[in-house]
Amino acid sequence: MAEETSWYKDAVIYELSVRGFYDADGDGGGEFRGLTLKLDYLAELGVNALWLLPFYPSPLRDDGYDISDYTNIHPAYGTLDDFKMFLDEAHRRGLRVITELVLNHTSEQHPWFLEARSSRQNPRRDWYVWSDTTDRYKRARIIFSDTELSNWAWDPVSESYYWHRFFSHQPDLNYDNPAVREAMWEVMRFWLEMGVDGMRLDAVPYLVERESTSCENLPETHDVLKSLRARADRSFPGKLLLAEANQWPRDVAAYFGAGDECQMAFHFPLMPRMFMAVRLEDRKPIVEILQSTPAIPDSCQWGLFLRNHDELTLEMVTDEERDYLRDEFARERRALLNLGIRRRLAPLMEGDRRRIELMNGLLLSLPGTPILYYGDEIGMGDNIYLGDRNGVRTPMQWNGGWNAGFSAADPERLYAPVISNPVYGYQAINVDSQRRYSHSLLSWMKQAIRIRQSTRVFGRGSMEVLDPLNHRVFAFLRELGEEKILVVSNLASQAQAAELDLRRWKGSVPIEMSGGSLFPPITERPYLLTLGPYQFYWFNLRRL
Ligand code: NOJ
């Protein structure tokens, strides 16, 4: 396949909130002009694609996932011209841009919904899903279980119930209606034509409802996506569709189709198991989930992540695993939300630099495309005293000055308070200070990303898991053509030794990739490695 159209395989994606990144006009929230001023920072970090959280007009009751106009910019974030300027400047720096396509639902403020609810005879009525009772689709679970009691909400205007899988102010669109499918294609076309490089498809499993099913992952839903993909390919080849489907591996893999649906999908089940493995000091959870992950079409790629703008979701684990993860990672019960944990990476790792590096090391070397969450590259903290998921969406910490260098506004005016506690506060954790010394987390991240980007093996290579006796050590081989990379990680808090069976690569010499040191050549004998607490190595295996 053409390299150009599979660019996402070589990408390191950076997820960010326009509102949270940089406030150039001093009104207390970021905007496109501010973000554009920070593009050099992102290019310098070494990422090559940006995923932007929703920036469309919206009442912002779900941080913009409640859209009231799909083809415009929220006035607080600027104008379409500002967006175009940002897009050009990003492209000029080699940064691709991925935007959000929220297919499943609109805001209740969207003109479509206002029309649809205005009377039962309105021509738009059938754009949403209505019922006279709450008895339909009983088998569908409630996703926002801390807020919603039912997937039906009463509309006093038209005196009937409408269907919603998320907040009750987010009515689901009716994908059985061809006009809805057409309208969403028009939305997609609008942004692809403007030049965005890909779209994250929000909440895709829930597009279609059918009686006596869970209303998730239905064949009709896949048909909708396949048709969007075919149309995108026809008019805009090389644009990425990234599925957000929080499902078990087999069900997520279905979103790749036969290479004719989404090119990428987030690996939701792997993520919590990376946290579990480091906590249990055992590779088993990761190895098991990789083993139960089906092979995917050649053109497709997993999206890997540690944290994002939502709670660390624990939907794709067993009840026992969930109890364990909650006990270990959310001892403070305020950190729990819905089924997950609303914390950022650094606090989850108790601020332990070695564990933060190890987790990022896994993220950058396992098969797939890594997706970093803004602020995690400097080890930002969170604020579990803010409601919903707002505690992991606080302003980016640029320096130790006024409002963390994020905004010139009065602090009271900020869309969310900056983190200011003594451990993770902006005086301690910020970009400027971490830029100034070469052993900061930021400098380490830059180097790790640079190594990842120095070869295509990580993004495109095969994966073989090794099986050393010491199960605290997780070792695997990535291979692409002649290139071979050996990754060995110590998941434990104590130093470990492991003997690896590397006979197949006899005669090769492991070269440690961060410093270039040569390790002893591989022979017939078990290859002995010792690793400090949470230490990991990336080796290039070379025949000298
Ligand atoms: C998934 C998004 O990641 C989340 O932030 C949002 O609340 C729901 N979809 C509903 O749109």
Q: Ligand 1 atom closest to Cα of 65?
A: 11
Q: Ligand 1 atom closest to Cα of 102?
A: 11
Per-residue confidence at 39, pLDDT binned at 50, 70, 90? very high
The pLDDT of residue 544: 84
Residues with a CB atom less than 6 Å from ligand 1: 62, 65, 102, 166, 202-203, 244, 309-310
The pLDDT of residue 376: 98
> Is residue 250 situated within a structural domain?
yes
> What does pLDDT average to over the chain?
97
Residue 64 Cα, ligand 1 centroid: separation in angstroms? 9
Domain shared by 115 and 100, yes or no: no
Cβ-in-10-Å burial (0-12, 13-18, 19+) of 151 comes to buried
Domain shared by 207 and 337, yes or no: yes
- Best substitution site from 56, 58, 60, 62 to test ligand 1's pocket, by max atoms within 8 Å of Cβ? 62
The pLDDT of residue 3: 62
Annotated catalytic residue 202? yes
Q: Ligand 1 atom closest to Cα of 105?
A: 11
Domain shared by 362 and 333, yes or no: yes
The pLDDT of residue 1: 53
Domain shared by 474 and 346, yes or no: no
Domain shared by 216 and 332, yes or no: yes
Distance CA 211, CA 454 (A): 51
Domain shared by 71 and 136, yes or no: no
**Percent of the chain residues topping a pLDDT of 70:** 99
Name the residue type at position 179.
Answer: A
If you take atom 4 of ligand 1, which residue's CA is the nearest one? 310
Residue 203 Cα, ligand 1 centroid: separation in angstroms? 7
> Is residue 387 situated within a structural domain?
yes
Average pLDDT, stretch 78-85? 98
Residue 407 Cα, ligand 1 centroid: separation in angstroms? 26
Q: Are 517 and 511 in contact (CB under 8 A)?
A: yes
Spell out the residues 6+ positions from residue 346 whose beta carbon is closer than 8 angstroms to its own: 356, 376, 379, 380, 381, 424, 429
> Is residue 5 situated within a structural domain?
no
- Best substitution site from 202, 389, 390 to test ligand 1's pocket, by max atoms within 8 Å of Cβ? 202
- Domain of 470, CATH number, reads 2.60.40.1180
First to last CA, the chain: 31
Residue 60 Cα, ligand 1 centroid: separation in angstroms? 12
Per-residue confidence at 2, pLDDT binned at 50, 70, 90? low
Q: pLDDT tens-digit profile of 510-538? A: 999 999 999 999 999 999 999 999 999 99
Q: Are 479 and 465 in contact (CB under 8 A)?
A: no
Domain shared by 159 and 222, yes or no: no
> Is residue 505 situated within a structural domain?
yes
- Give Cα separations from 463 to 196, 220, 262, 420, 449 (angstroms): 31, 33, 22, 42, 19
Q: How many beta carbons lie within 10 A of that of residue 438, not counting itself? A: 11
Domain shared by 39 and 70, yes or no: yes
> Is residue 85 situated within a structural domain?
yes
**Percent of the chain residues topping a pLDDT of 90:** 99
> Per the residue annotation, which of 244, 261, 311, 376 is the catalytic one?
244
Q: pLDDT tens-digit profile of 354-367? A: 999 999 999 999 99
Question: What one-character-per-residue DSSP string does 78-98 give?
Answer: --HHHHHHHHHHHHHTT-EEE
Which of 436, 453, 470 is at the close of a domain? 453
3-state SS string for 115-127: HHHHCCCCCCHHH
> Is residue 374 situated within a structural domain?
yes
Q: Are 49 and 89 in contact (CB under 8 A)?
A: no
Domain shared by 534 and 499, yes or no: yes
Which of 401, 426, 453 is at the close of a domain? 453
Question: Could you give the number of structural domains in the chain?
Answer: 3
Report the length, in residues, of the chain.
544
- Say yes or no to pLDDT of 494 above 80: yes
Domain shared by 100 and 116, yes or no: no
Q: For residue 481, give its domain range.
A: 461-543
Domain shared by 346 and 426, yes or no: yes
- Domain of 142, CATH number, reads 3.90.400.10
The pLDDT of residue 4: 80
Phi, psi (5° rounding) for residue 113? -70, -40
What is the spatial order of strands in the sheet that 130-131 belongs to?
Answer: 130-131, 160-163, 152-155
- Domain of 376, CATH number, reads 3.20.20.80
Taking every pair of Cα atoms in the chain, the longest distance, rounded to a whole number of angstroms, is 78
> Is residue 170 situated within a structural domain?
no
Q: Are 63 and 389 in contact (CB under 8 A)?
A: yes
Distance CA 485, CA 481 (A): 11
Which of 421, 453, 485 is at the close of a domain? 453
Q: pLDDT tens-digit profile of 443-460? A: 999 999 999 999 999 999
Q: pLDDT tens-digit profile of 374-412? A: 999 999 999 999 999 999 999 999 999 999 999 999 999
Q: pLDDT tens-digit profile of 221-276? A: 999 999 999 999 999 999 999 999 999 999 999 999 999 999 999 999 999 999 99
Q: Are 240 and 263 in contact (CB under 8 A)?
A: yes
Residue 291 Cα, ligand 1 centroid: separation in angstroms? 28
> Is residue 135 situated within a structural domain?
yes
Domain shared by 132 and 264, yes or no: no
Q: Ligand 1 atom closest to Cα of 104?
A: 11
